Amino acid sequence: MNNNTVSLSPQRVSRVIKATNNNGNKARRKAIIMILIVAILYFIAFSPIQINFIYTQINHSHHLYEHRLFFIVTILLVLSSTAFNPIIFYIFSKYFRCKFQILLRCLCPSCRLSTKQRNNFGII
């Protein structure tokens, strides 16, 4: 028998499996919540312009051009939907946060920290 192998008791194996399953379930739950939030924000951002499109198709009118403010607000809402996703990813994903901070340090000279200072900060 090889002396380098470690024998684990069945109770210890069971505890390791339970801990792994709990971590997996938490990660799965966070991912589902993140996907739901992204989908809801996408729906909120795109629904006004789609409702307006359906309304103009049914009534054969160009309601869009009569109210410029509504048009501008809906376009800005649609464009802002692309800015929501990185914010949500930053909030929910520790991996995304870490990689974003690395990218920020590379692109922004004022955000760079010395190696000693960088090691004192943990990933939030």
By the 8 A CB rule, do 84 and 119 touch? no
pTM value is 0.62
Match 């004192």 to its residue by tokens. 120
Please tell me the predicted confidence (pLDDT) of residue 124.
45
The burial class, CB within 10 Å (0-12 / 13-18 / 19+), for 51 is: exposed
Please tell me the predicted confidence (pLDDT) of residue 54.
85
Please tell me the predicted confidence (pLDDT) of residue 116.
43
Please tell me the predicted confidence (pLDDT) of residue 115.
43
Please tell me the predicted confidence (pLDDT) of residue 36.
93
Please tell me the predicted confidence (pLDDT) of residue 64.
54
Residues of the chain below pLDDT 70: 1-21, 62-66, 111-124
Q: Report how far residue 60's alpha carbon sits from residue 42's, in angstroms, rounded to the nearest whole number.
A: 27
